[in-house]
């Protein structure tokens, strides 16, 4: 018997090896989310609970699968593009009568919102305490967006209208949908590519992105692990895919270039329905007067200072921002993972329109059945534990169910 020849070794160039190593580092860091001890403390210290009567068990009502959310506004409302002021929502003459959830910037701590079953489903995270360099990074990021806006957007105007408001945006990262064969990075070229890559690679942007993922990993570890499992499978299915940041679990982000990023009421129903979206506010505005995150289903207006991050289930909670002053600026970084990405991973990278009839039938069945699976991976907070370890502030909100926007 002839001795079989040894398997041919694939020639590996240094640059390939380096790229492979970088991907390995990226995978390890992002998916395992080691949260340094000092960062862990700042993400938990002085935490406050906001209890709500919202029930996250019913969020799949009206959806078509266990992946996508659903649009909740009619076209007429979207076309009106209303941006509300704080007074319109909470003032004595307000028709809404929403409650303000204040932020204490002098003694900051995370605020976690729980549903009727005491599950954490919304978070507000302050910057790391006692670390002025984080504020510098947040300010630097805002300055960079301001600087690059004229290069990316002619006359500073949005290139096309979008559902979230009237300010220019640029998505960066991994997408799937719209007839794509497989998940890939959103394509840019020329000056756009240069500018957005410059922004993406800045240390200040990396740091803001990592802060959000660490908060996610620490407060919702089960859901975070679920994301990590899917992102690991994505790396197996598309080995050359590159994430935005090595310490971020999210596949994509949108930079909201301002100068006045104030969103109209909307749901990001293309995001994974049980997932979270991380929004980091930046800019120069009085957070007590404007830039709040309005959570319509919860009846609250949440103070949202620059440098702070909110993690919200944006695929089903109706949300918007309050208006800011004319001479003020607000920008934001929004990180998320599209629902379609989870689905194509479950479908083993075979797009629906390339499936055989048999494959399609099985996939449709699998997607429909997903609605009956236990997808809710929020963290349950034990009441006694919460009372013992958390501060005094606990607000019971009563009027909750999916809000029907008039």
Query: Nearer Cβ to Fe ion, position 310 or 390?
Result: 310
Rounded least distance, CB 248 to Fe ion, Å? 18
Give the three-class secondary structure for 54. coil
Rounded least distance, CB 381 to Fe ion, Å? 25
Q: Are 284 and 305 in contact (CB under 8 A)?
A: no
Question: From CA 337, how far away is CA 273, in angstroms rounded?
Answer: 10
Question: From CA 370, how far away is CA 312, in angstroms rounded?
Answer: 22
- Where would I find the beta strands (DSSP E) of 20-148? 48-51, 99-101, 111-114, 119-125
Selected range binding Fe ion among 65-73, 268-276, 362-370, 382-390, rule: CB under 5 A: 268-276
Question: From CA 121, how far away is CA 110, in angstroms rounded?
Answer: 13
Check binding of 262 to Fe ion (CB under 5 A). no
Q: DSSP secondary-structure letter at 362?
A: H
Query: Nearer Cβ to Fe ion, position 56 or 314?
Result: 314
Selected range binding Fe ion among 9-17, 42-50, 311-319, 378-386, rule: CB under 5 A: 311-319
Selected range binding Fe ion among 31-39, 104-112, 229-237, 313-321, rule: CB under 5 A: 313-321
Query: Nearer Cβ to Fe ion, position 276 or 381?
Result: 276
Rounded least distance, CB 262 to Fe ion, Å? 12
Among 56, 256, 262, 314, binds Fe ion (CB under 5 A): 314
For residues 29-58, which are near Fe ion according to CB under 5 A? Answer: none
Q: Are 158 and 166 in contact (CB under 8 A)?
A: yes
Check binding of 320 to Fe ion (CB under 5 A). no
Check binding of 309 to Fe ion (CB under 5 A). no
Rounded least distance, CB 319 to Fe ion, Å? 6
Among 51, 247, 268, 303, binds Fe ion (CB under 5 A): 268
Residue 3 CA to its chain's centroid (Å): 56
Any residues with CB less than 8 A from the CB of 325 and at least 6 apart, and which? Answer: 285, 286, 289, 290
For residues 148-187, which are near Fe ion according to CB under 5 A? Answer: none
Query: Nearer Cβ to Fe ion, position 268 or 328?
Result: 268
Question: From CA 319, how far away is CA 310, in angstroms rounded?
Answer: 12
Selected range binding Fe ion among 16-24, 92-100, 187-195, 309-317, rule: CB under 5 A: 309-317
Pure H helices in 81-202:
86-90, 132-152, 190-200
Rounded least distance, CB 276 to Fe ion, Å? 12
For residues 55-94, which are near Fe ion according to CB under 5 A? Answer: none
Q: Are 203 and 145 in contact (CB under 8 A)?
A: no
Rounded least distance, CB 338 to Fe ion, Å? 13
Cβ neighbours around 162 below 10 Å, total:
16
Query: Nearer Cβ to Fe ion, position 42 or 295?
Result: 295
Counting residues that bind Fe ion (by CB under 5 A) gives 2
Query: Nearer Cβ to Fe ion, position 146 or 268?
Result: 268
Query: Nearer Cβ to Fe ion, position 314 or 379?
Result: 314
DSSP-derived secondary structure for 188-249:
--HHHHHHHHHHHT-HHHHHHHHHHHHHHHHH-HHHHHHHHHHHHHHHHHSTT---S-TT--
Query: Nearer Cβ to Fe ion, position 309 or 314?
Result: 314
Any residues with CB less than 8 A from the CB of 170 and at least 6 apart, and which? Answer: 152, 192, 196, 254, 255, 257
Per-residue binding string, Fe ion, 227-246, x by CB under 5 A, is --------------------
Q: Which residues bind to Fe ion, rule: CB under 5 A?
A: 268, 314
């Amino acid at each position: 018997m002839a001795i079989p020849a040894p398997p041919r070794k694939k020639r590996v160039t240094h640059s390939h090896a380096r790229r492979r190593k970088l991907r390995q580092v990226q995978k390890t860091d992002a998916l395992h989310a080691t949260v340094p001890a000092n960062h862990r403390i700042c993400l938990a210290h002085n935490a406050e609970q906001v209890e709500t009567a919202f029930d996250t068990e019913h969020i799949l009502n009206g959806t078509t699968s266990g992946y996508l959310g659903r649009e909740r506004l009619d076209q007429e409302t979207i076309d009106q593009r209303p941006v509300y002021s704080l007074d319109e929502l909470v003032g004595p003459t307000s028709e809404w009568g929403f409650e303000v959830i204040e932020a204490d910037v002098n003694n900051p701590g995370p605020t976690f919102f729980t549903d009727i079953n005491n599950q954490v489903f919304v978070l507000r995270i302050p910057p790391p305490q006692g670390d002025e360099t984080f504020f510098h990074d947040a300010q630097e990021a805002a300055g960079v967006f301001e600087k690059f806006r004229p290069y990316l957007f002619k006359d500073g105007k949005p290139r096309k209208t979008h559902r979230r408001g009237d300010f220019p945006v640029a998505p960066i990262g991994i997408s799937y949908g719209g007839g794509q064969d497989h998940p890939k990075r959103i394509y840019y070229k020329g000056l756009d590519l240069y500018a957005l890559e410059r922004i993406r690679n800045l240390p200040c942007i990396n740091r803001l992105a990592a802060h959000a993922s660490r908060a996610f990993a620490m407060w919702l570890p089960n859901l975070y692990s679920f994301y990590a499992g899917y992102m690991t499978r994505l790396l197996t299915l598309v080995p050359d895919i590159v994430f935005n940041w090595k310490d971020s679990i999210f596949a994509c982000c949108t930079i909201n270039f301002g100068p006045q990023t104030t969103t109209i009421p909307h749901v990001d129903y293309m995001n994974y329905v049980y997932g979270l979206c991380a929004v980091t506010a930046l800019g120069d505005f009085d957070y007590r007067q404007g830039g709040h995150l309005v959570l319509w289903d919860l009846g609250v207006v949440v103070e949202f200072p620059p440098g702070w991050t909110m993690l919200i289930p944006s695929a089903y909670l109706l949300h918007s921002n309050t208006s800011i002053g004319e001479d003020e600026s607000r920008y934001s970084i929004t990180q998320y993972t599209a629902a379609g990405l989870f689905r194509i991973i479950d479908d083993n990278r075979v797009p629906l329109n390339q499936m055989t009839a048999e494959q399609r039938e099985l996939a449709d069945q699998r997607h429909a059945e997903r609605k009956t699976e236990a997808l809710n991976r929020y963290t349950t907070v034990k009441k006694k534990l919460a009372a013992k370890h958390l501060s005094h502030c606990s607000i019971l909100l009563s009027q909750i169910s999916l809000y029907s926007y008039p």
